A and B are shown apart, each in its own frame.
Chain A
Amino acid sequence: KAGVTQTPRYLIKTRGQQVTLSCSPISGHRSVSWYQQTPGQGLQFLFEYFSETQRNKGNFPGRFSGRQFSNSRSEMNVSTLELGDSALYLCASSLGGRPPVLRDGSSLRYYYTFGSGTRLTVV
């Protein structure tokens, strides 16, 4: 299977601009989640889309938005960019439904797959 593809890999934008990032999940995966990674903050959950609907949202301002298309590809948009938005943006792909039988706690190895991320720099 092809992995999770995020484009572009690197991006430089100016304060006040807006940006759109793209994530193509693994074929057959219906859930796409977005995370922001900044130094010292770890990975922070932005939102999750499943079957074109936002199912869950993190604590980010309304400038951060997303959508999902019928082919499960997802886009994330950030408007009115601020310097603090500089980060690595990661998306994670998963089937999205109940995971395979894991009652005994066996591995989630293949449940979530992350892309390589988009490095956004705001100047």
Chain B
Amino acid sequence: DQQVKQNSPSLSVQEGRISILNCDYTNSMFDYFLWYKKYPAEGPTFLISISSIKDKNEDGRFTVFLNKSAKHLSLHIVPSQPGDSAVYFCAAVRGLFQGAQKLVFGQGTRLTINP
């Protein structure tokens, strides 16, 4: 049962334009969502997070939008830079305030920024 899904395995965007990565989830009990960036043979690096009580969170070039009714979130990167080329993972956690640690990840989207 894939509770978190990233339906686009890859995305190609021109440098300077907006990159939009999407993520869908099925479990309405998730209370936090996170986006990670990952290079091969390295661990995921945190990008941005959002609580289920919010609908938007912004940090520099990164903005995450959460649509709870659609069980959908998206990561916007503006402007896109060559260094943004990596695999991006969406993750969710349930019960964080009760100490739960388990992150449920999507399958990832490979973002390529073209010069």
A contact set with B: CB distance below 8 Å: 4, 9, 31, 33, 35, 40-45, 48, 50, 55-56, 58, 88, 90, 92, 94, 96-99, 102-109, 112, 114-117, 119
Contact = CB atoms under 8 A, between A and B. Distances in A.
Given A94-B101, A103-B51, A105-B50, 5 more contacts: A43-B103, A43-B105, A102-B32, A102-B51, A112-B103
B103 A108 contact: no
A41 to B, nearest CB: 7
A48 B101 contact: yes
A28 to B, nearest CB: 16
Interface residues of B, number: 33
Contact of B43 (A97, A104, A114): A114
A48 B95 CA distance: 14
B34 interface: yes
